[in-house]
Amino acid sequence: MFDDSTTQCLLFPGIFRKPVVAQFDQRDGSSDGGALLLKAADRRLGLLEELTACLEDQRQAGKVDHSLRELVGQRVFSIACGYPDANDSARLAKDPIHKLLLDRDPVEGNDLASQPTLSRFENGVGIKELYRMSEALARTVLRRHAKRLRRRAYRVTIDLDPTDDATHGGQQLSFFNGHYDNWCYLPVLGFVSFNEEAEQYLCAAVLRPGNVTAAVGAVGLLRRLVGMIRWYFPGVIIRVRLDGGFAHPTVLDFLDAQPKLEYVVAMAKNAVLKRIAAPGVRRARQLSRRSGKTEHIYGEVRYAARKWRCPRRVVIKAEVVRAPGKDPKDNPRFVITNLKQSPQWIYEQVYCQRGDIENRIKELHDLEIDRTSCSRFWANQFRVLLTAAAYVLMQELRLRAAGTACARAQVCTSRERLLKLGARVRVSVRRVVVHLPTSFPFQPSFAHIAMSFGAQSG
């Protein structure tokens, strides 16, 4: 590592045909030249304006150097570029591209906000503001896709899933969770998808204490999302897919009460359900013994748990799993649903499709949505929302990359291919020129995305 007192020069003798000197002397350069796409994406979405409008500025006007819009933008853009912590602001304060993203002169403009300023900002956001920001995030995502689809979607699917956010300090409401065997928070993430499209778009990210069950807060979150979806897509059929942690009577009652709403909710096995599934498991065991492979058969039952107000349809997957070198293992699965189709179709074509949500959650962890190191719980919720906003921008880039080499790239791959570009910035009286490398291998993808945002070839 080199500090400011060390000469910014490295000599590589004896490695190449000639001695190679690397000098850190490009004063108007940046390693995030492609982040211009993030600015273009936000201009189309209006996300940062929506989030900023939810905040109240209680600072003394005469002492303000950085507007709320700039502080939100600085954090969201830097997270998308791979700088998740406010401490990174010290490295980015003079970066010409990051200044340009905030509408400052990239060379002569004032430096960006410092770490203390950003930390005060994060800790100053209140509960009501966070609630409004959560609604603004969902509203922006749904409005964008309503415009894209011209409000003609015939089905919108909601997926909710909790994830663990390990904590390593004295954060408020951090508790030990026996399931994850760790001190953690337990955020719940919400995604929407449209018609038969594979992409699941993030629309909600709610931080929760580490000792809650999966279903805590689910009804309130679903109620808000269902209401917004019906506003932007009148008459649409809504499908909700949930894992076993959400199989709570209050959640099921809410789903049953909604018109034009389909649901599939996994359910943990119990003694009654295992007894009901036993004949199917025996049959699957016979099939597995003959084939030497994993086998399963499907069935269904009308079932009512003790705390349910009425019986519900439960799809049964009676499965016997075989793995090399191991004994066969019974693996019955149960899914509660109000769909009318066959059990096999419901399980394989509807419920199993929610598995891709794990890839979306992995991407959010790659963006370090779990960088919740503030002492205050609500400051950490704010960080979660900022990371969610960065992810929404990255998903917009992926959507615009359709038909290119970056069409299905993971978020981290998209960042490496599209954003992390060495750039030199030159400012004249009439314009700002960002010089990017001619040898950039993903130039066609970059140009395709830029043109979709309204850029013109010159």
What's the chain's average pLDDT?
93
For the residues 303-327, what does the mean pLDDT come to? 92
Q: Look at residue 76 and tell me whether its pLDDT is greater than 90.
A: yes
For the residues 216-241, what does the mean pLDDT come to? 97
For the residues 33-44, what does the mean pLDDT come to? 96
Q: Look at residue 6 and tell me whether its pLDDT is greater than 70.
A: no
Closest CA to 91 of 32, 169, 43: 32
Question: pLDDT digit string (tens) for 161-208?
Answer: 999 999 998 899 999 999 889 999 999 999 999 999 999 999 999 999
Question: pLDDT digit string (tens) for 229-283?
Answer: 999 999 999 999 999 999 999 999 999 999 999 999 999 999 999 999 999 999 9
Picking from 44-53, 71-80, 89-98, which range would have the lowest pLDDT averaged per residue? 89-98
For the residues 340-369, what does the mean pLDDT come to? 94
Q: Look at residue 317 and tell me whether its pLDDT is greater than 80.
A: yes
Residue 227: the pLDDT is 97
Residue 5: the pLDDT is 45
Residue 1: the pLDDT is 40
Q: Look at residue 8 and tell me whether its pLDDT is greater than 80.
A: no
Residue 324: the pLDDT is 86
Q: Look at residue 88 and tell me whether its pLDDT is greater than 90.
A: no
Q: Look at residue 2 and tell me whether its pLDDT is greater than 50.
A: no
Of residues 203 and 1, more confidently modeled: 203
For the residues 29-57, what does the mean pLDDT come to? 95
Q: What is the spatial distance between Cα 384 and Cα 366, in angstroms, rounded to a whole number?
A: 13
For the residues 337-361, what does the mean pLDDT come to? 94
Residue 7: the pLDDT is 53
Greatest alpha-carbon span in the chain: 81
Q: What is the spatial distance between Cα 391 and Cα 311, in angstroms, rounded to a whole number?
A: 40
Per the rule left: phi > 0, alpha: psi between -120 and 50, beta: everything else, 260 is left
Of residues 346 and 18, more confidently modeled: 346
For the residues 434-455, what does the mean pLDDT come to? 93
Q: What is the spatial distance between Cα 328 and Cα 318, in angstroms, rounded to a whole number?
A: 13
Q: What is the spatial distance between Cα 329 and Cα 294, in angstroms, rounded to a whole number?
A: 9
Question: pLDDT digit string (tens) for 394-434?
Answer: 999 999 999 999 999 999 999 999 999 999 999 998 999 99
